Amino acid sequence: MKSNNGTPPIRVAVIGCTGMAGRNLVIALDKHPWFKITSLHGSRNVNKPYKDLIKISQGLLSKAVLNCKVSTVDDLENNIDSIDVIFSAIPSETAALIEGRLAEFKPVISTAAAFRYDSDVPILLPVVNGDHYKAIFTQQRLRNWKGFVCAGPNCTTVGLAVALAPIFRKFGLATVHLVSMQAISGAGYPGVPSFDILGNIIPYIENEENKVKIEIKKILATIKVENSKSTWNFPEFVIDCKCNRVPVITGHTISVFFQTIIPTSVKEIKNTIRDFKGYTNGLNLPHNPEPVIHVFNSDTPDRPQPCLEFHSPKTGMTTFIGGLEPTSFENGFKMTILSNNLELGAGSGAVLNAEYLVEKGLIGGSE
């Protein structure tokens, strides 16, 4: 089998393949022009075909993947030379034990939080902080690894980071305050019990608020790598948030209030956001967002909405912004942000990270 450009396919293993994030990873990787799923791994119900372990709509996956027998992570470690890159969608407490062992030998693209806050691990969101991949060189030197761990953002932080990046870089940010309304799919499968969430809002998600406050500053930071040492310069804006679980299937919505350092206007901010292309602009990456951000005009004040925006696979990678207005605070503005927690915030976002690292020469196939 050859990829679309005639090079050998990049051989992929997925660990945590039966969970919500894992399933979306498998969907994004199946039939990918660069990657070929070689093995699937889990911790429970192994030695069974993948189709017997998941509930999924007919036609979403190829027969080869549906019939692939799920094996243990131990099996992956014993056959690691047959893999070029590993995608991990396992819980953070498990990831802390497993991902490092695998990264000694191969690249690990992770959706977990286990390594996100380590100074030599990027929280990669290539549209926003594509230069952060350079931290990987520090990581490999310090840990003496042949591979590496590349972490993706928390599924709430991702849309916030994309929306704020162009504003922060042009006008600066003094304060950011937000309230999230997070879909139940963000809690994984089977997720929140229906008796708890139907007709209800749960105003607490464990550790979520701290993740958002830490991650947004690392994602928007600048990095300097010299002599294989990474130096981070973190933003100084004040941020706080309140995170809530709401009875929506897919899509995290955020109401955000922010103050800029440089005085500006709604028109200038909209133009800045619409002009934003990001680090992946011009790169032929299969999961590149098109567009990166969609800004609604003032004649559609009731958008974005989760039920209306995610109407095709491509829109799952776009961040939607609406309701951009001035507030009564000095240099203050407010807006509504919507992003797809299963696509940009998990499976397809992780695949985009891998595509970007292929472009940078950090992931490749074998003859």
Catalytic residues: 155, 252
Residue 44 phi/psi, 5-degree rounding, is -130, 155
User: At a CB cut-off of 8 Å and minimum separation 6, what does 37 contact?
Assistant: 12, 13, 14, 26, 29, 30, 64, 65, 68
- For residue 19, the one-letter residue type is G
Check: CB of residue 77 under 8 Å from CB of residue 60.
no
Between helix 157-171 and helix 208-220 the angle, nearest 10°, is 40
Closest to 243 measured CA to CA, from 213, 215, 207, 203? 203
* Pairing, β 319-326 against β 173-182: unpaired
Owner of token pair 């806050």: 117
Longest dimension (CA), the chain: 61
DSSP letter at 12 equals: E
Q: In whole angstroms, give the CA distance from residue 253 to residue 251.
A: 6
What is the rounded end-to-end Cα distance, in angstroms, of the chain?
11
Between helix 157-171 and helix 266-275 the angle, nearest 10°, is 110
Q: In whole angstroms, give the CA distance from residue 20 to residue 40.
A: 14
* Structure-token pair, residue 32: 């990918």
Q: In whole angstroms, give the CA distance from residue 95 to residue 139.
A: 17
Between helix 20-29 and helix 347-359 the angle, nearest 10°, is 50
Q: In whole angstroms, give the CA distance from residue 158 to residue 152.
A: 9
Q: In whole angstroms, give the CA distance from residue 131 to residue 275.
A: 20
**C-alpha neighbours within 13 Å on the C-beta side of residue 90:** 26
